[in-house]
Amino acid sequence: MTTRSQAGTESQDAPRPGRGDLAELGVEGLRSRVAEELVRTRERSEVLTGSVDDDDLTRQHSPLMSPLVWDLAHIGSQEELWLVRDVGGAEAIRPDIDDLYDAFQHPRRDRPQLPLLGPAEARSYVGEVRTKVLDLLDRTPLEGRRLVEQAFAFGMIVQHEQQHDETMLATHQLRKGPPVLTADDPPAAGAEALPAEVLVPGGPFTMGTSTEPWALDNERPAHPVHVPDFLIDTTPVTNAAYRRFVEGGGYDQPRWWSEEGWAYRQHAELTAPRFWRRDGDGWLRRRFGHVEPLPPDEPVLHVSFHEAEAYARWAGKRLPTEQEWEKAARHDPRTGRSLRYPWGDGDPGPEHANLGQRHLRPAAAGAYPLGAAPCGARQLIGDVWEWTSSDFLPYPGFGAFPYREYSEVFFGPGHKVLRGGSFGTDAAACRGTFRNWDLPIRRQIFSGFRCARTPRPGELG
Ligand SMILES: [Fe+2]
């Protein structure tokens, strides 16, 4: 079956109480909220796995990705482990497949060789797990154990499925063939001229969170950080700006690259962002099966950390640290508080940010004026994940929860932090405090960046 499917769904556009206010919903309100999120998330997974035929589902489109049918059954397997068995205390449904869907046992490139559940079996398995979960949601006390306080385990599983939905969207981007997903275009940029960069004055701010109910262990706890003066780009770096770097010989000059970055650029023979192709004097890019002229005003997409870092050096700037990024996104100088999102504490709506696969491309730089941060920077949330210069490290006072393999085993200099979510990220898996991480060579993800710099002596008067 190859049908054209709308990736955006209407339900995600309805106004919703903020997730930070889950405590105000009461137990029954919390249960219906969880059920809504589970159902909404599953609809997305069904679009991503129902828009291609069985052959496409079971095939590996890139050694970087799992077959889509692995993601699907893995979503069910994690839901079974955490909700059916751990929270619900129920008997295992398919203990025989635990190992097949353990991401730590089998690297992605090996997954097509495993005796995986077929598409029909995988669908029936995830459906059976979900029926059990909705049943236990009605009768499980949501207190008395940290795992279930404010329905944390359910929130974790919603986020897990949403993260795989973004991963599956990246697989769709890698698959060959005609387009199967459609969505409306994002809003245009406003007509007003924006400054190229904004100043974030030096001083302390509160980084991370101790109160966000569904925040994951690596976002905790809230802690004070002093950040000196810095300037940050108002918007992510655009295709037009990045093209100047490419055409100005940026990929041929080692002086813009770190030693490691240059070695990778040589080894992988990089000449431009992934999915770009030269076309006479111009450039084309491939996007979910469409080959189209490179849109100059859109944030650049599918660049590795190394490419982002080289561009920033070429531009006379640098990547922001993770602390700078979060301060730009959350610090409200009027109150001294850190906001949940750049625009305030309310959950993201379609007027704030390009999230949730509502659109299958980033919006032009300068869009979403209602999503601007107090410092004036735009599109910090949504559109493209933004590489920072920081290694993925624990915050002071970090405690692994509920398992070490969620974050702790990834801490260290091998992984760089990305912030802010992309058009492929759901609001449930994106907050001002949310931290993503990846290898510095990765570029099949929906990654872009913006630059920052330290003011020159005397520049600020
Ligand atoms: Fe997973």
**pLDDT tens digits, 159-193:** 999 999 999 999 999 999 899 999 999 999 988 89
What is the reported pLDDT for 299? 98
Closest CA to 314 of 406, 224, 245, 395: 245
At 284 the three-state DSSP class reads strand
Rounded to the nearest angstrom, the distance between the alpha carbon of 104 and the centre of ligand 1 is 9
- The residue-averaged pLDDT of 214-232 equals 98
- From the CB of residue 269, how many other CB atoms can be counted at a distance below 10 Å? 7
Q: Are residues 240 and 380 in the same domain?
A: yes
- Token pair of 249 as six digits: 């010989």
Residues in the chain: 461
Q: Total structural domains in the chain?
A: 2
The answer to whether 359 is annotated as binding is no
Q: Are residues 155 and 206 in the same domain?
A: no
- The residue-averaged pLDDT of 202-216 equals 96
The answer to whether 102 is annotated as binding is no
Rounded to the nearest angstrom, the distance between the alpha carbon of 245 and the centre of ligand 1 is 36
Q: Are residues 256 and 134 in the same domain?
A: no
- The residue-averaged pLDDT of 326-350 equals 97
Rounded to the nearest angstrom, the distance between the alpha carbon of 162 and the centre of ligand 1 is 10
Cα gap 329→371, rounded to integer Å: 10
At 11 the three-state DSSP class reads helix
Residue that terminates a domain, selected from 182, 200, 226? 182
CB 410 within 8 A of CB 234: no
Q: Are residues 351 and 210 in the same domain?
A: yes
Q: Are residues 88 and 212 in the same domain?
A: no
Rounded to the nearest angstrom, the distance between the alpha carbon of 445 and the centre of ligand 1 is 15
Rounded to the nearest angstrom, the distance between the alpha carbon of 159 and the centre of ligand 1 is 10
The DSSP-derived string for 214-280 is T--GGG-S-EEEEE--EEEESSPPBHHHHHHHHHTTGGG-GGGS-HHHHHHHHHTT--SSTTEEEET
What is the reported pLDDT for 405? 87
Q: Are residues 251 and 389 in the same domain?
A: yes
Q: Are residues 150 and 245 in the same domain?
A: no
CATH, residue 440 = 3.90.1580.10
pLDDT grade, residue 277 (50/70/90)?
very high
Pairing of strands 447-448, 385-392: parallel
Q: Are residues 401 and 263 in the same domain?
A: yes
The answer to whether 108 is annotated as binding is yes
Q: Residue 2 above 80 pLDDT?
A: no
Residue that terminates a domain, selected from 152, 182, 212? 182
Supply the pTM of this predicted model: 0.94
Rounded to the nearest angstrom, the distance between the alpha carbon of 164 and the centre of ligand 1 is 6
**H or E stretch covering 387:** strand 385-392
For residues 148, 154, 160, 166, the Cα torsion angle rounded to the nearest 10 degrees is -140
Q: Are residues 130 and 244 in the same domain?
A: no
What is the reported pLDDT for 19? 58
Residue that terminates a domain, selected from 182, 214, 229? 182
Q: Residue 7 above 50 pLDDT?
A: no
At 394 the three-state DSSP class reads coil
pLDDT grade, residue 460 (50/70/90)?
confident
Q: Residue 16 above 50 pLDDT?
A: no
- The residue-averaged pLDDT of 24-35 equals 91
Rounded to the nearest angstrom, the distance between the alpha carbon of 62 and the centre of ligand 1 is 18
**H or E stretch covering 392:** strand 385-392
CATH, residue 145 = 1.20.120
Rounded to the nearest angstrom, the distance between the alpha carbon of 310 and the centre of ligand 1 is 31
Rounded to the nearest angstrom, the distance between the alpha carbon of 83 and the centre of ligand 1 is 14
The answer to whether 164 is annotated as binding is yes
- The residue-averaged pLDDT of 100-127 equals 91
What is the reported pLDDT for 297? 97
Q: Are residues 156 and 214 in the same domain?
A: no
Rounded to the nearest angstrom, the distance between the alpha carbon of 289 and the centre of ligand 1 is 26
At 211 the three-state DSSP class reads coil
Q: Are residues 165 and 200 in the same domain?
A: no
Domain residue limits at 67: 3-182
Rounded to the nearest angstrom, the distance between the alpha carbon of 21 and the centre of ligand 1 is 27
What is the reported pLDDT for 110? 85
The answer to whether 160 is annotated as binding is yes
Q: Which residues sit opposite 131 in a β-bridge?
A: none
Closest CA to 209 of 443, 433, 428, 364: 433
Q: Are residues 175 and 193 in the same domain?
A: no
